[in-house]
Amino acid sequence: MSQAKANIGVIGLAVMGSNLARNLASREGNTVAVFNRSYEKTETLLSEHPEAEFVPAKTYEEFAASLTTPRTAIIMVQAGRGTDAVIDELTRVFEPGDIIVDGGNALFTDTIRREKAVRETGINFVGAGISGGEEGALKGPSIMPGGSAEAWQTLGPILEGIAAVAEGEPCVTHVGTDGAGHFVKMIHNGIEYADMQLIAEAYDLIRRGTGKSPAEIADVFAEWNRGDLESYLIEITAEVLRQVDAETGQPLVDVILDQAGAKGTGAWTVKSALDLGIPVSGIAEAVFARSLSSKPAQRAAAGDLPGPEAAWAVDDADAFIEDVRLALYASKIVAYSQGFDEIIAGAQEYGWEIEKGEVAKLWRGGCIIRARFLNRITEAYAEDPELVALLTAPFFREVLVGGQEAWRRVVVAATQAGIPAPAFSSSLAYYDGLRAERLPAALVQGQRDFFGAHTYKRVDKEGTFHTLWSGDRSEISAVDSH
Ligand SMILES: NC(=O)c1ccc[n+]([C@@H]2O[C@H](COP(=O)([O-])OP(=O)(O)OC[C@H]3O[C@@H](n4cnc5c(N)ncnc54)[C@H](OP(=O)(O)O)[C@@H]3O)[C@@H](O)[C@H]2O)c1
């Protein structure tokens, strides 16, 4: 048995785990124990990074013995059954007071279940969302931990040491209990889907409306990245658009197959939103747009369906590009507003106390959606913690006031040109839906009462009512059956 000398351990040494282990080892005061199911990965890591002075283990027993108490281990294995298998092993060799952290992309309901089961053994379980991909894991990710306040006491300083730093603050906060961290990470990914789709639509519209080349559009994005839209995703978009394929000499974007993949976290965000009754239409459209792109048979079958006859070109390219920028900004505000609505609803449903402003802060660095405008979200919730809809905060209201006409012009242009812009247009429909004084939901409620006696309320008096549709069509008081 090895002597206990590591203060933190990492299990799962694929890309994410080995990079996170190296990040941990590079920080003052850390000695890192490492374990992987198959020992080859451990050997590779040890031989490639002797400077990290890892403490390797071949068995779970050895791994536990190499850690000082309270033992703290971060699991970075394939989410799902892999995580459960490792938790079973760790609960066998760990003791009460020790801490198991799942840093994988777990579904938050799995984290709630696991936390409950592990807690019964006296061991702490922390589900921590980690964003930033492999580079973030190595250099500083954004970390969203859940779990108990007790576990946070030990874990906090370790995670603060390895997280990204934005404006002098580490991008990690104890988000809430049990599954709160993975829930917030899920919303992060949902917003990421929306943001990426909006950027892709902006590119497509500019290209097809102005005839600019991908390299020229890269310049547009680089310019945008110096203003309000400054963000990692805008920055890398310019990089991708500028890339030339070595084999063909074509812009790389033109030789990449136009079928977008997905690992499922966007779909989780939407499924959870459906359960919570929160309209995250921008995120949903982004998830569906990827699904549509990946239906080659259907796309081929529909390829000869008619679209607008006339070719499309905008009259004033610069003015159109500015309209698209404003439409992108407005739609992005909708995506974040919807994401935070889901956080608020999730917190209420699952009993978490989530500081919305703190969540925005921890997304400022290390993660994929890092962006300048996250500070504005923090400020909005600082000014009004009970803000009912983020997009109505003074700063965002002003952006929407300044951009809504451009937003409409862009959606109209896209529709007339037959160019799909589902995230732009659904975001605008959401905006118009929220601000509408009266919605046709009244008619829907009338239809529901007609076929299902689902009842309705009236605008002019208290109570619940039903019309006797198959009788004399008089109205009666009824029991609410919404
Ligand atoms: N890649 C990213 O950019 C990214 C970003 C954020 C979060 N994540 C999350 O981070 C985690 C790790 O991601 P990854 O891409 O580095 O690795 P991965 O491909 O998701 O998983 C491979 C690792 O899981 C281990 N594993 C699988 N089943 C196991 C089991 N039953 N028992 C023990 N170990 C098992 C493998 O061990 P063997 O070597 O023995 O097969 C290997 O170490 C995942 O949850 C992923 O979703 C990834």
pLDDT tens digits, 137-169: 999 999 999 999 999 999 999 999 999 999 999
pLDDT tens digits, 30-88: 999 999 999 999 999 999 999 999 999 999 999 999 999 999 999 999 999 999 999 99
Task: Indicate which atom in ligand 1 lies nearest the CA of residue 131.
Answer: 6
Q: Is 133 annotated as a binding residue?
A: yes
pLDDT score of 481: 73
Q: What is the pTM of this model?
A: 0.96
137 lines ligand 1 (CB under 6 A): no
Q: Rounded CA gap, 187 and 272, in Å?
A: 10
Task: Please report which helix (H) or strand (E) contains residue 186, including its range.
Answer: helix 180-210
Show the tokens assigned to 478: 């009824």
Cα 106 to ligand 1 centroid, rounded to whole Å: 11
Q: Rounded CA gap, 20 and 131, in Å?
A: 11
Number of H helices and E strands in the chain, helices first, is 20, 11
pLDDT tens digits, 316-367: 999 999 999 999 999 999 999 999 999 999 999 999 999 999 999 999 999 9
pLDDT tens digits, 196-245: 999 999 999 999 999 999 999 999 999 999 999 999 999 999 999 999 99
44 lines ligand 1 (CB under 6 A): no
**Which residue among 76, 111, 142 has the greatest number of ligand 1 atoms within 8 angstroms of its CB, and so is best to mutate?**
76
What b-and-e string marks burial along 88-97, b requiring 16 or more CB atoms within 10 Å of the CB? ebbbebbeee
35 beta partners: 11
18 lines ligand 1 (CB under 6 A): no
225 lines ligand 1 (CB under 6 A): no
Cα 20 to ligand 1 centroid, rounded to whole Å: 12
Instruction: Report which protein residue has its CA nearest ligand 1's atom 23.
Output: 77
Question: By three-state DSSP, how is residue 60 classified?
Answer: helix
Parallel/antiparallel/unpaired status of strands 99-102 and 72-75: parallel
Cα 76 to ligand 1 centroid, rounded to whole Å: 6
Q: Is 346 annotated as a binding residue?
A: no
* Positions marked catalytic: 185, 192
189 lines ligand 1 (CB under 6 A): no
Show the tokens assigned to 333: 């505000």
Residue 6, pLDDT > 50, answer: yes
79 lines ligand 1 (CB under 6 A): yes
pLDDT score of 1: 47
Question: By three-state DSSP, how is residue 73 classified?
Answer: strand
Give the mean model confidence (pLDDT) for residues 120-125: 97
Instruction: Report which protein residue has its CA nearest ligand 1's atom 32.
Output: 82
Q: Is 147 annotated as a binding residue?
A: no
147: left (phi over 0), alpha (psi -120 to 50) or beta: left
Give the mean model confidence (pLDDT) for residues 251-277: 97
466 lines ligand 1 (CB under 6 A): no
Q: Is 196 annotated as a binding residue?
A: no
447 lines ligand 1 (CB under 6 A): no
pLDDT band for position 310 (50/70/90)?
Answer: confident
pLDDT tens digits, 87-119: 999 999 999 999 999 999 999 999 999 999 999
**Which residue among 18, 36, 77 has the greatest number of ligand 1 atoms within 8 angstroms of its CB, and so is best to mutate?**
77
Question: Which residues, at least 6 apart from 191, have a Cβ–Cβ distance to it below 8 Å?
Answer: 283, 335, 336, 339, 369
Instruction: Report which protein residue has its CA nearest ligand 1's atom 25.
Output: 77
Q: Rounded CA gap, 106 and 109, in Å?
A: 8
Q: Is 176 annotated as a binding residue?
A: no
Question: Which residues, at least 6 apart from 224, have a Cβ–Cβ distance to it below 8 Å?
Answer: 230, 234, 325
Instruction: Report which protein residue has its CA nearest ligand 1's atom 34.
Output: 37
Give the CA-trace dihedral at 219, 222, 227, 233, to 10 degrees: 130
102 beta partners: 75, 127
Q: Is 85 annotated as a binding residue?
A: no
pLDDT score of 2: 52
Cα 12 to ligand 1 centroid, rounded to whole Å: 6
144 lines ligand 1 (CB under 6 A): no
Q: Rounded CA gap, 64 and 77, in Å?
A: 17
Residue 311, pLDDT > 90, answer: no
